[in-house]
């Protein structure tokens, strides 16, 4: 009987510790496409998992919510932002636009979708990092300028945003960091994305107030 009682106390204490840890945990939403979803990679190798691992290694109690959907455009992100917010994130990374560029969709349309996403996050008081994207060069210089200008413009207009100019910085175009399709990062590429984004993400997290663990 005593053994059972002690075992029960152990379970109760473990549950209490887990509840306390969860209470002080920061939930970071990463809303994106196949880059976020880690296309071609095991889940622990994708950018959300690598970002979480790097943050925890730096002593931050953060859980990264992987809201990446392969093939998603900014319109898809706009359609599911309310669903994503059901997880009640304390902060968010918006990493969309790559598929808009690959499909040659109008930058004005992409901008409208991003504005709707950012507005939804702002209404909930969720500090946000906007990750920029670059259009494929085959679409022409004018399209490329207009496309990049969407992200630059939003960053200027919304000084409360943390702006990371290019999601694939240091990875795009490097055969050693990309899968054979030359679009999706390898595990090493995903690690590089996480490493380069880390200072910007920490700036974002410094704006978050999470109830302290009891």
Instruction: Report pLDDT digits (tens) over 154-210.
Output: 999 999 999 999 999 999 999 999 999 999 999 999 999 999 999 999 999 999 987
Tokens of 123: 């209404």
pLDDT value of position 131:
98
Q: Is 108 a catalytic residue?
A: no
Contacts of 132 (CB under 8 A, 6+ apart): 97, 148, 151, 152, 155, 163, 164, 165, 166, 167
- Which pTM was predicted? 0.88
Domains for the chain: give ranges and CATH numbers: 25-205 (3.40.50.1110)
Please report which confidence band the pLDDT of residue 13 belongs to, taking 50, 70 and 90 as the band edges.
very low
DSSP codes, 28-65: EEEEESHHHHTTTS-GGGSHHHHHHHHHHHTT--EEEE
pLDDT value of position 18:
42
Please report which confidence band the pLDDT of residue 19 belongs to, taking 50, 70 and 90 as the band edges.
very low
Q: Is 34 a catalytic residue?
A: yes
**Do 29 and 87 touch, CB atoms closer than 8 A?**
yes
Q: Is 90 a catalytic residue?
A: no
Instruction: Tell me how far apart the alpha carbons of residues 160 and 13 are, in angstroms, rounded to a whole number.
Output: 41
CB-neighbour burial class of residue 6 (10 A; exposed 0-12, middle 13-18, buried 19+): exposed
Instruction: Tell me how far apart the alpha carbons of residues 139 and 104 are, in angstroms, rounded to a whole number.
Output: 7
**Do 171 and 189 touch, CB atoms closer than 8 A?**
yes
Q: Specify the residue for token string 């002690």.
A: 6
71-124 confidence digits (pLDDT tens): 999 999 999 999 999 999 999 999 999 999 999 999 999 999 999 999 999 999
Q: Which of 33, 90, 100, 184 is catalytic?
A: 184
Q: Which of 33, 34, 72, 100 is catalytic?
A: 34
pLDDT value of position 209:
82
Instruction: Tell me how far apart the alpha carbons of residues 183 and 204 are, in angstroms, rounded to a whole number.
Output: 27
* Phi, psi values for residue 137, rounded to 5°: -65, -20
Q: Which of 33, 152, 181, 206 is catalytic?
A: 181
């Amino acid at each position: 009987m005593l053994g059972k009682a002690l075992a029960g106390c152990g379970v109760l204490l473990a549950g209490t510790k887990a509840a306390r840890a969860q209470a002080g945990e920061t939930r970071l939403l990463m809303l994106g496409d196949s880059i976020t979803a880690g296309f071609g990679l095991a889940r622990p190798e994708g950018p959300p998992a690598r970002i979480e691992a790097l943050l925890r290694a730096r002593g931050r109690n953060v859980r990264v919510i992987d809201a990446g959907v392969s093939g998603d455009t900014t319109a898809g992100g706009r359609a599911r932002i309310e669903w994503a917010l059901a997880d009640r994130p304390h902060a968010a990374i918006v990493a969309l636009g790559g598929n808009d560029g690959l499909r040659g969709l109008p930058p004005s349309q992409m901008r409208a979708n991003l504005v709707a996403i950012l507005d939804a996050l702002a209404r909930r008081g969720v500090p946000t990092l906007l990750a920029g994207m670059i259009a494929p060069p085959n679409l022409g210089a004018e399209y490329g300028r207009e496309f990049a200008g969407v992200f630059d413009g939003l960053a200027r207009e919304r000084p409360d945003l943390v702006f990371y100019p290019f999601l694939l910085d240091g990875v795009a175009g490097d055969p050693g960091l990309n899968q054979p399709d030359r679009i999706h990062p390898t595990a090493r590429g995903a690690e590089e994305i996480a490493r380069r984004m880390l200072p910007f993400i920490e700036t974002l997290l410094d704006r978050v107030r999470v109830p302290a663990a009891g």
